[in-house]
Structure 1
Amino acid sequence: MTKKEDKNQSNEEVVKINKWDGSAVKHALDDAVKNCLFSDRPQLKEQFGLINMRLALCTLAVGVAVLAHAWDFTHPFPESRPVLLFSVLAYFALMGVLTLYTTFREKGIFAVAIQKDNNGGERIWEASSDMKKFDDKYILTFTIKDSKKMREATSTKSCASFIDENGVILDNLVAHEVNRLYNSVSAEKKEK
């Protein structure tokens, strides 16, 4: 190993997780997929609209809670009753909207990217994942949407395929799977 390779290897961050924590495994794999997807493809520009909407809903809910607290502080309880009632109802309504949004709109999507065509059109890339509780299967889906159609490619593999016995994410194996799915979706586009 050369000195330069040794220096590059020491600068890379090694991700180590508790391999028995399913949620931590899923999130670490999602992060590894996202890093591979955007580091190797400069033509993909990450979009944050999906996450920003979730943050806006959370901010509104916290704002309602802060309003209730501030109003109750300046106007003690009997006087603040209508404002507290409104705030409690608004908070629970916003949490319901947030739950519906994450369940039916986000659907496990953790990365969204825009790719510009040479013709001026856009392709929207989405990466989503799922991992059931007490299951080792990591389901990774790439979806591409353009003006004409939508295509997707899915991979279902054991999370042990991407993590060694010490709980370290094997980036080269994740990158191989990301490249395979990316090329699969891209190849479908060229065939049609």
Structure 2
Amino acid sequence: SLLLMLLGNFYGLESSLEEAKAHNGLPTKTETRLKNRLALDICTLIFNLQTSGIALKLKLDSSTVITHWAYQLTFTLAGDEESCFRILLDDAHTDFILNLIRHSEHSKPQQVAKSVNKPALIKEIIRSLPLTLNVKIAELSMNVADLTQIKAGDILPISLGETFPVAIGQSELFSALIVEDKDKLFLSELAGKNENSHE
């Protein structure tokens, strides 16, 4: 019986299964209901958007007897050819699945076009990111004792270099001159670490 077979597969009741094969009869009403419930649960697990991408609507119909099925799917447990189940599809369900496959194949060029545009979109996003350039004009080293002696009005001797490093965060990009024009400071003659200066 179906119930005994399920128990045997779960608990390993091999001897009971052998005895049941000798006098196996028609399934009981309980077994029929269980079989229908299992069939619906299995089909729901397989035919959904998350698992197969096919949202197949299923409902139990005991009033219609179908003698010819359009398609059959067989699932077999690896290593045990006898442990298998089949899903029989009627014409309506088969047509629905085939049309869905055709539609997905037709929309693939559009998906490829979208994927091609993604690098350009990412590049544009990166190019438009806001950045802050930090210019290091001077650096003065002193110990804690000297720092505690500083008072308002003191003059600190600082030597300025010819060019000043420009960085983003801690990463130095290039060096530049600082020039003044109309009370504003500008970076001029930008040059990389190992490059010659250029306007």
TM-score range, shorter chain: under 0.3
Higher helix share: 1
Larger radius of gyration: 2
TM-score (norm 2): 0.22
RCO comparison, higher one (Cα < 8 Å, 6+): 1
